[in-house]
């Protein structure tokens, strides 16, 4: 891992590639566990509500959405994973993150005796997937002019739609529980690979400058006025994205399969999934070429148009386009959050932002329950239109004039912001 040409920070390019691959696999685990739900949901409803149909199914969907929102409170625990990575190091933080995703995932297979136990395990998994911790080591090790590209490369690995290509078939062949449980095996592989990960020098230097390990309250007190400004910007974008995309990924399968009666949802989802890495690749180039703010504008407007069109037409192409533009916004989130905060509290700042944004895991399901109840009789048109219009809100964050970080070192960003 040590040989090869080095970057300006003394990290070999070979190691940088290794880091991108490993963090990309963590991102893949994150994506699979987050997105397999759209295929698993019909089976979850059938298992815990006894194959309901008609109005009974609508009632079951509403109840599930309400329970999901209530259990969604658990995701606020993600802040402690983020703080742990600041206090004890990125490497240890990654070990904790991977274990928190993988162990409950396999327990879903063997312990989901009722919907409450399932939602408890599911919520712990989702809590871990919301951390975005894997982006931090890449941001801290990558050279400034290609930081967006390296970050998007890991993101690209993460959004290869294995959940759509393999996960849907796994569920059809076995059951929806194994759609989650299979990620235990990726956890085992990642535990081996993470052993070879090095602690980023920026974190080592920051830790050496502190007289004692950073406590939770110490980390929060170190957040200055500029940190709070960017927390508000990022949290607003991320909260809107979480609510809107959560609606799409949770209810897409039910909408196309049951509401519209289509039998080709596996194909629809596979194409949508394949657009994610395409979007990640394009976003990586655009982030470093035209800048972070323009990528946010393109992604948000595209998401609005796609989701509203889905509500008006029910066309699969609009659902797939929504995946493409939502992935572009997510690329902005991953790259911008990992570079805009100072090293000492970078992971904690991301943790605060992610924790606030994960209010969407409570609001989203509760809102879905209300919208399903309102629009179930009209093919859910208002459901999708609302999800689309919500993505207009991130555009208003640009009025706060966020710093354009394209091509700047982390040290320059810390000074200029």
The full DSSP string for 291-315 is -HHHHHHHHHHHHHHHHHHHHHH--
Which position has the higher pLDDT, 181 or 358?
181
- Whether the per-residue pLDDT at 1 is higher than 50: the answer is no
pLDDT of 194 higher than 90 = yes
Residue 70 has pLDDT above 50, yes or no: yes
For residue 185, pLDDT beyond 50:
yes
pLDDT tens-digit readout, 102-123: 999 999 999 999 999 999 999 9
pLDDT of the residue at 219: 56
Please, are residues 247 and 391 in contact by the beta-carbon 8 Å criterion? no
Mean pLDDT on 69-89:
82
Reply yes or no on whether the pLDDT at 141 is more than 50: yes
Q: Does domain 13-198+216-416 have CATH number 1.20.1250.20?
A: yes
pLDDT band at 386 (very low <50, low <70, confident <90, very high): very high
With tokens 């949290």, the residue in question is 235
Quote the pLDDT of residue 3. 41
The Cα–Cα gap between 367 and 297 comes to 25
**In sequence order, which ranges of 130-212 are alpha helices (DSSP H)?**
135-141, 147-158, 162, 168-173, 176-181, 183-194, 201-209
Q: Which residues are CB-neighbours of 125 under 8 A, at least 6 positions away?
A: 33, 100, 101, 104, 105, 108, 180
| Mean pLDDT computed over 332-342 | 80
| Average pLDDT over every residue of 295-318 | 95
Give the least confident one: 132-141, 284-293, 385-394. 132-141
Q: What angle do CA 108, 110, 111 make, to 5 degrees?
A: 70
Give the count of beta carbons closer than 10 Å to the beta carbon of residue 217: 8
Q: For position 2, what pLDDT does the model report?
A: 42
Q: In whole numbers, what is the pLDDT of the chain averaged over residues? A: 85
Q: Is the dihedral of CA 391, 393, 398, 400 positive or negative?
A: negative
């Amino acid at each position: 891992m040590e040989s090869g040409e080095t970057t300006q920070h003394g990290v070999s390019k070979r190691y940088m590639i290794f880091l991108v691959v490993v963090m990309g696999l963590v991102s893949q685990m994150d994506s699979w566990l987050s997105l397999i739900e759209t295929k698993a949901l019909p089976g979850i409803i059938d298992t815990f509500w006894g194959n309901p149909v008609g109005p009974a199914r609508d009632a079951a969907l509403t109840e599930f959405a309400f329970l999901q929102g209530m259990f969604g409170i658990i995701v606020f625990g993600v802040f402690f994973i983020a703080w742990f990575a600041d206090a004890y190091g990125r490497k240890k933080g990654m070990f904790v993150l991977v274990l928190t995703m993988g162990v409950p995932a396999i327990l879903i297979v063997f312990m989901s005796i009722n919907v409450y136990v399932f939602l408890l395990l599911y919520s712990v998994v989702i809590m871990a997937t919301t951390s975005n911790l894997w982006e931090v080591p890449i941001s801290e090790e990558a050279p400034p002019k290609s930081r967006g590209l390296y970050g998007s490369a890991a993101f690209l690995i993460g959004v290869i739609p294995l959940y759509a290509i393999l996960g849907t078939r796994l569920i059809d062949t076995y059951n929806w529980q194994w759609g989650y449980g299979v990620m235990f095996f990726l956890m085992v592989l990642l535990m081996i690979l993470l052993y070879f990960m090095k602690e980023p020098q920026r974190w080592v230097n920051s830790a050496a400058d502190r007289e004692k390990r950073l406590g939770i309250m110490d980390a929060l007190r170190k957040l200055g006025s500029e940190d709070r400004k960017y927390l508000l910007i990022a949290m607003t974008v991320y909260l809107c994205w979480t609510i809107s995309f959560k609606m799409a990924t949770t209810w897409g399968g039910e909408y196309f399969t049951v509401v519209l009666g289509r039998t080709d949802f596996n194909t629809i989802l596979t194409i949508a999934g394949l657009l994610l890495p395409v979007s990640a690749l394009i976003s990586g180039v655009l982030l470093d070429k035209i800048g972070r703010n323009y990528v946010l504008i393109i992604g948000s407007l595209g998401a609005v148009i796609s989701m509203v069109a889905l509500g008006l037409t029910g066309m699969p192409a609009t659902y797939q386009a929504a995946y493409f533009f939502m992935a572009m916004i997510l690329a902005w989130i991953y790259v911008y959050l990992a570079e805009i905060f100072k090293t000492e509290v970078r992971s904690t700042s991301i943790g605060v932002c992610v924790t606030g944004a994960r209010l969407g895991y409570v609001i989203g399901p509760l809102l879905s329950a209300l919208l399903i109840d309102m629009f179930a009789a009209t093919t859910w048109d208002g459901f999708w239109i609302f999800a689309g219009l919500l993505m207009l809100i991130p555009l208003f964050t640009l009025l706060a004039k966020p710093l354009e970080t394209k091509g700047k070192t982390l040290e320059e960003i810390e000074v200029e912001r």
